[in-house]
């Protein structure tokens, strides 16, 4: 048993545990075990029952509002278990500060996170807040709904139906994001050469409707990753990266990003891949596994998501990542997804990148394709090569990003990315 984001050990009882209570109440259920050392070994307390009451009193006196929790004593080892539930009335403060977990540490939230907690406690989304602007134009949005939905003309009733106008008849942040001019972040697109120090083109799309941001990003993709091939009397458009995968990745970035952070979505274009970085981690209540499997969708921006769905920019909530994977089902190199507390990145490799791999490299990848995790020695035995040759080819595949290396020394293993 080890400490984690949702589990903390306390050898002794000091007020520092109250920060973790605040973190669990704000950002997800968690457990604190009192009378356990850093290695997870139970030590217990001789007066566990009285200390249990002391813990309860400290929580009730120090955490505002009062969180939901349960506390018990294990009679076998006198370890005290405190289970804290994520609360409905956020934020939960300890000494006027709100906290969150970062891996196994408990840290104070920043101002942006505190605002989000406050909105969540009031059952509001950032996109629903009044934008403070009275006169917004929607020419680009109007053209899109006429084209895609057959609506004859835009009016206030339609804007209200899409959720751009609140009950007090004021435009909200979602309305400003879809308007012709807005003050939020946009999409920063850069096309690189052989390294990030070699920039061929750069374009920042901001201050315009997020529908135009989406369309302009797609236009850049088509310029650099599509070409026409003549087959007899026919012209065929060839995509080095599946256009639908790029569409899904950009739409997901716009729908799920945090809009209260003044930061751009970044699209980095390379000869062998596209990297898309979206500000903000996973929507609250969604695990990494659920996100990657597309088994659940918890929208951070439901108004924006609904508009993209109705305009057919996204097919169904929560299926974007799964569809990207399906588009690469037959590809030699698969897309890569990375999730942190503050960003989500998607890397889309080019379909034709495999042409740069030697025949021997293909043989190694074919073995690792089956989900195996093998050492260089095990691979060399299967292929009946020398270990030196196997390591030499593996190093090339590592450099090109086709395989992953784990461990070190004799315990080094290789797997396919």
Please say if the pLDDT value at position 9 is more than 80: yes
Predicted pLDDT at 215: 97
Query: Residue 92 carries which DSSP code?
Result: P
Residue 12 CB: number of other CB atoms within 10 A? 12
pLDDT value at residue 159:
95
CB atoms within 10 A of CB 348: 26
In the DSSP assignment, the letter for residue 108 is E
* pLDDT at residue 353, as a whole number: 52
Determine the length of the chain: 417
Work out the mean pLDDT of the chain and round it to a whole number: 90
Which residues is 42 bridged to in the sheet? Answer: 36
Instruction: Determine the Cα–Cα distance for residues 57 and 67; give it in Å rounded to an integer.
Output: 12
One DSSP character per residue, 109-164 reads --HHHHHHHHHHHTT--GGGSB-S-S----HHHHHHHHHHH--S---HHHHHHTT-
DSSP 8-state symbol, 200: E
Question: For residue range 197-220, what is the model confidence (pLDDT) as tens digits?
Answer: 889 999 999 999 999 999 999 999
Q: In terms of DSSP bridges, do strands 343-349 and 336-339 run parallel, antiparallel, or are they unpaired?
A: antiparallel
pLDDT band at 232 (very low <50, low <70, confident <90, very high): low
Share of the chain above pLDDT 70, in %: 96
- What pLDDT is stored for residue 307 in this prediction? 95
Whether the ω angle into residue 61 lies within 30 degrees of 0, i.e. cis, is no
Those residues whose C-beta lies under 8 Å from the C-beta of residue 16, and which sit 6 or more positions away, are: none
In the predicted model, what is the mean pLDDT of residues 255-277?
93
- pLDDT for residue 318: 63
Task: Please determine, for residue 180, whether its predicted confidence score (pLDDT) is greater than 60.
Answer: yes
Closest CA to 306 of 149, 71, 89: 149
Q: What is the DSSP string of 342-402?
A: SEEEEEEE-GGGGGGS-HHHHHHHHHHTTS--B-HHHHHHHHT--HHHHHHHHHHHHHHTS
Report the alpha-carbon distance of residue 227 to residue 41 in Å, rounded.
Answer: 62
Output the CA torsion sign for 242, 247, 253, 256: negative
- Give dist(CA 317, CA 313) in Å, integer: 11
pLDDT bucket at 45, cuts 50 / 70 / 90: very high
pLDDT surpasses 70 at 108: yes
Quick one: which of 31, 11, 19, 26 has its CA closest to 62? 19
Look at residue 397 and tell me whether its pLDDT is greater than 80: yes
pLDDT given at position 316? 61
Whether residue 297 has pLDDT greater than 70: no
Between 173-177, 266-270, 349-353, the lowest mean confidence (pLDDT) is in 349-353
In the prediction, which pLDDT does 366 show? 81
- Chain-centroid distance of CA 112 in Å reads 17
143/287: higher pLDDT: 143
């Amino acid at each position: 048993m080890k400490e984690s984001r949702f589990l903390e050990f306390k050898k002794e009882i000091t007020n520092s545990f109250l920060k973790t209570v605040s973190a669990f109440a704000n950002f997800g259920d968690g457990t604190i075990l009192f009378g356990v050392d850093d290695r997870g070994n139970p030590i217990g307390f001789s007066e566990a029952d009285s200390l249990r009451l002391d813990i309860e009193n400290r929580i009730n006196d120090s955490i505002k509002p009062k969180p939901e929790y349960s506390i018990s004593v294990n009679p076998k080892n006198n370890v005290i278990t405190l289970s804290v539930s994520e609360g409905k009335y956020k934020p939960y403060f300890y000494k006027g500060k709100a906290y969150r977990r970062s891996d196994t540490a408990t840290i104070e939230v920043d101002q942006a996170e505190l605002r989000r907690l406050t909105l969540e406690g009031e059952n509001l989304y950032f996109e629903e807040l009044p934008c403070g602007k009275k006169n917004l134009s929607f020419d680009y949005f109007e053209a899109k709904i006429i084209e895609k939905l057959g609506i004859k003309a835009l009016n206030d009733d339609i804007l209200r139906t899409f959720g751009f106008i609140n009950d007090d008849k004021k435009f909200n942040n979602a309305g400003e994001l879809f308007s012709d001019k807005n003050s939020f972040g946009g999409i920063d697109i850069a096309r690189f050469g052989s390294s990030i120090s070699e920039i061929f083109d750069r374009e920042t799309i901001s201050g315009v409707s997020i529908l135009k941001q989406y369309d302009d990003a797609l236009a850049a993709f088509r310029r650099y990753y599509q070409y026409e091939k003549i087959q007899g009397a026919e012209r065929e458009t060839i995509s080095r990266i599946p256009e639908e995968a790029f569409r899904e990745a950009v739409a997901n970035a716009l729908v799920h990003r945090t809009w209260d952070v003044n930061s751009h979505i970044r699209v980095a274009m390379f000869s062998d891949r596209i990297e898309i970085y979206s500000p903000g981690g996973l929507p609250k209540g969604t695990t990494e596994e659920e996100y990657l499997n597309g088994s659940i969708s918890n929208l951070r921006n439901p108004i924006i998501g609904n508009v993209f769905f109705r305009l057919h920019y996204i097919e169904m909530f929560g299926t974007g990542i799964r569809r990207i994977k399906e588009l690469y089902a037959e590809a030699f190199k698969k897309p890569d997804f990375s999730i942190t507390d503050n960003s989500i990145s998607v890397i889309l490799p080019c379909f034709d990148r495999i042409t740069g791999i030697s025949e021997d490299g293909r043989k190694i990848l074919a073995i690792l394709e089956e989900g195996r995790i093998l050492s260089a020695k095990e691979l060399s035995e299967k292929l009946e090569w020398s270990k030196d040759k196997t390591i030499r080819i593996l190093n090339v595949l590592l450099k090109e990003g086709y395989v992953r290396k784990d461990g070190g020394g004799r315990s080094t293993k290789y797997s396919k990315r």
